[in-house]
Structure 1
Amino acid sequence: MMKEEHYCRICGLYMKDKPWGDDGQSPTYEICPCCGVEFGNEDYDLFSIKEYRKEWLKNGANWFDKKKKPVFWDVNKQLMNVPEYFD
């Protein structure tokens, strides 16, 4: 089972390295290849997370790194991976 600390708080993409570190408080400042959020910059609190997600979805939920987009990607299925607290 994959731990929820490995999922992007915005789009639910699984990340090999925990976006917010082992303690959940130390962001990596890496960029999510799906939604383009910079961990620790645009997802620093619940309000910013919800606003970023709303804008990303409103603008078509486009992949930031189009080369990494899976062929049969389903945004709604992926969004189910967003940790409950950040939903």
Structure 2
Amino acid sequence: MSLWYCRVCGLAYDESPWGQDDRTPDFTFCECCGAEFGYNDYSPESARRHRSRWLEQGAGWFYPNLQPTEWSPASQLANIPKRFQ
């Protein structure tokens, strides 16, 4: 079971890139939407802006070789934490 979901695209992660305190981002990038944790998702507004751009550009994977074959963008987007929707 996943512990954390990307605030921009809802991709599931085993560990939070925001640290155990949920306040210390590691500034890595989401494998799917390319959001830089701590920069593109630091607030609900910044997450929505990045999501909007990502969707407008076709919702392609930042690391295409990691995209699952049965990927469902709609299902993944449903995982976005409520505060960041």
Q: TM-score, normalised by structure 2?
A: 0.93
- The alpha carbon displacement at 1:23 in A equals 1.2
Secondary structure of the corresponding residue to residue 50 of structure 1: helix
Could you state the TM-score of these two structures normalised by the residue count of structure 1?
0.91
The answer to whether the 8 A contact 1:49-1:86 is kept is yes
What residue ranges of structure 1 are gaps of 5+ in the alignment?
A: none
- Taking the aligned partners of 2:17 and 2:6, their CA distance within structure 1 comes to 7
Q: Deviations over 1:24-79 (max 9, x none)?
A: 11111111110001100111111111100011001100000001000010100000
- The runs of 4+ residues in structure 1 deviating greater than 2 Å are none
Which residue among 36, 48, 51 is the counterpart of 1:50?
A: 48
- Once the two structures are superposed, the pairs formed by residues 25-36 of structure 1 within 5 Å of their partners are 25-36=23-34
Task: List aligned pairs for 1:1-80, cutoff 5 A.
Answer: 1-3=1-3, 6-80=4-78
Greater shift in the superposed pair: 56-65 or 20-29: 20-29
Q: Secondary structure at the match of 2:12?
A: coil
Provide structure 2 residue ranges, at least 5 long, that are not aligned to the other structure. none
CA contact (8 A) 1:12 1:81 kept: yes
